[in-house]
Structure 1
Amino acid sequence: MNDSLNPSPMPQFQQLTIQGDDAEKFLQGQLTCDVTKLGLSYQAAAIGNLKGRIEFGIWIKKQAEKHYDVVISADCADGLKAHLNKYGAFSKFETSAPTPIYPCVLADEPTFSHKDTHNTPEDTQAWMQSSIAMGNYWITSTTQGEFQPQELRLHQRGGMDYDKGCYLGQEVIARIYFKSAPKAFLHYVQGSSDVPAEGEKLGKIQVVNAIANGQDTQQGFEALVVARPEHLTDSDLTIMELPLALQADVARLK
């Protein structure tokens, strides 16, 4: 365990609203997903950097025509707003100030709510447990720029589109998809030690998100990690099953 890192506190999230005539076109040139196919449910997606790594991990939905709601880790919200304003300086849309939104589990799915009744530690704990079990990772300021979208199986969750055209980091991401495959990728694991911090490296295994296994932190942890399968086999971690859609090979089907 790296003593310089502390287990992550319960995550907080904020929402930004993006509205205007050019909102769809602008977002299409930024996000990994196909914005024209968004609906009223939150879709996991990302904005990459020029190295093809996730700079902003988000959830997005189309609230109405020319109106999109974006949810992001609270410690990345101001950075996202600055990014949108910088790249969208000559586009016709407005970005709202970040406002709080609360993680919760509804109908057995991790989601978000504006209702104060969901602003509880119990709701956040349930969201974290459900999200980790389902591969619903979240990126914070600690893990910005650490992971490539395919490593996190974002393409298996509908959050990447390889046919929609250019977006930030697209050349690198597409090259990995069409010409190779990540050697390390997302796994759901259990461990018996103290809860590791986001971004912490357990040998050659990197933690994305982690939570105590139950109320007693001495009982170990559950986590989403990025690792090569052989490194997990050689570790003392127990590999758990992700949902069926995330069990497929991360490489492109030939």
Structure 2
Amino acid sequence: MTQPINSVQPPQFSQLTIQGEDAEKFLQGQITVDVTKLGLSYQAAAISNLKGRIEFGFWIKKQDEKQYDIVISADCADALQAHLSKFGAFSKFETSASTPIYPCVLDGEPTFSHSESNEDVQKWMGTSIATGNYWIVANSQGEFQPQELRLHQRGGMDYDKGCYLGQEVIARIYFKSAPKAFLHYVESSDPKGHASVPAAGEKLGKVQVVNAIAIENGFRALVVARPEHLADNKLSILDLPDALQADVARPQ
């Protein structure tokens, strides 16, 4: 449902920690990124469902030996906890309770801080949308395939790491075809000031919204669509970073 500009709720995020003897092995069989290559910087990644669509989108880093920190939209945190408990029931690791973590922008990059005093949600949202740093919320779980969101162009997918949830579908799309619809950065304006901001996961005709933020007399958004369908909604295409301008298909 489209939301009036003045009612759009800013995102909130939670962090949880996974640590233990089997933490790396377990995560390697769950997430899209190669866990052995993670470092101290947050890396966008995902856990997909068996249909190859993102069930949990998050950022992950290796905080210490056998310890990984995950940041996820707060409204998905409990579901992720339940997922980890279900699939990790026979693995040796522990998952901490989720705690608040705050979006901020440091050196021009969207990231997170443990200090609420650093929080700058609107700046984080604007910078994230402009750089393709999407965030999955409860309303958009299971809606998007990782390649549609250009996750592979952000280092968040590894096609050589072996099996993980949804890997068969994801690999088939990558090696044998390509998404027809994919991530774009767009703007919509209404000179009369009647524009409203669409919700995450909302469909505008054949265009599906990932995230959106209000601007004067309109909104900017990350959307998944075929390029030819953007004009139907009078959406102006803005430039994503160079790394996300490449073709989403596998390089030949």
Q: Which TM-score band applies after superposition, normalised by the shorter structure?
A: over 0.9
User: 1:161 maps to what in 2?
Assistant: 158
Q: Distance in 2 between matches of 1:24 and 1:201?
A: 37
Contact 2:3–2:196 (Cα < 8 Å) also in 1 = no
Amino acid at match of 2:200: E
Q: Distance in 2 between matches of 1:246 and 1:45?
A: 16
Q: Is 1:244 equivalent to 2:242 in the alignment?
A: yes
Q: CA deviation at 1:207?
A: 0.4
Q: CA deviation at 1:235?
A: 2.9
User: 2:192 maps to what in 1?
Assistant: none
> Structure 2 residue aligned with 1:130, among 127, 131, 141?
127
Q: Distance in 1 between matches of 2:220 and 2:183?
A: 13
Amino acid at match of 2:69: D
Contact 2:131–2:240 (Cα < 8 Å) also in 1 = yes
Q: Is 1:253 equivalent to 2:235 in the alignment?
A: no
> Structure 2 residue aligned with 1:150, among 144, 147, 150?
147
User: 1:117 maps to what in 2?
Assistant: 117
User: 2:31 maps to what in 1?
Assistant: 31
Give a deviation string over 1:104-150, Cα, whole Å, max 9, x none.
0001000000012124xxx0000000000000000000000000000
RMSD of aligned Cα (Å): 1.4
Q: Distance in 2 between matches of 1:12 and 1:91?
A: 30
Give a deviation string over 1:22-56, Cα, whole Å, max 9, x none.
00000000000000000100000000000000000
Q: Is 1:212 equivalent to 2:210 in the alignment?
A: no
- TM-score normalized with structure 1 length: 0.94
Q: Distance in 1 between matches of 2:249 and 2:47?
A: 21
User: 2:186 maps to what in 1?
Assistant: 189
Q: In the comparison of the two structures, how many residue pairs are matched?
A: 246
Q: CA deviation at 1:195?
A: 1.1
Amino acid at match of 1:61: K
Contact 1:45–1:60 (Cα < 8 Å) also in 2 = yes
- Give 3-state SS (helix, strand or coil) of 1:61's partner: strand
Contact 1:151–1:184 (Cα < 8 Å) also in 2 = yes
Unpaired segments of 5 or more residues in structure 2? 190-194
Q: CA deviation at 1:200?
A: 1.0
Q: Distance in 1 between matches of 2:244 and 2:9?
A: 26
Contact 2:2–2:196 (Cα < 8 Å) also in 1 = no
Q: Is 1:173 equivalent to 2:181 in the alignment?
A: no
- Give 3-state SS (helix, strand or coil) of 1:47's partner: strand
**In the superposition, relative to structure 1, how do residues 8 and 53 fare at CA in structure 2: closer, same or farther (>3 Å)?**
farther
Over 3 Å off, 4+ runs = 1-4
Amino acid at match of 2:233: S
Contact 1:102–1:115 (Cα < 8 Å) also in 2 = yes
> Structure 2 residue aligned with 1:140, among 137, 140, 145?
137
Q: Distance in 2 between matches of 1:154 and 1:7?
A: 29
Amino acid at match of 1:94: E
Q: Distance in 1 between matches of 2:63 and 2:219?
A: 36
Unpaired segments of 5 or more residues in structure 1? none
Q: CA deviation at 1:251?
A: 0.2
Contact 1:75–1:140 (Cα < 8 Å) also in 2 = yes
User: 1:224 maps to what in 2?
Assistant: 222
- Give 3-state SS (helix, strand or coil) of 1:127's partner: helix
**In the superposition, relative to structure 1, how do residues 182 and 7 fare at CA in structure 2: closer, same or farther (>3 Å)?**
farther
- TM-score normalized with structure 2 length: 0.95
Q: CA deviation at 1:3?
A: 7.3
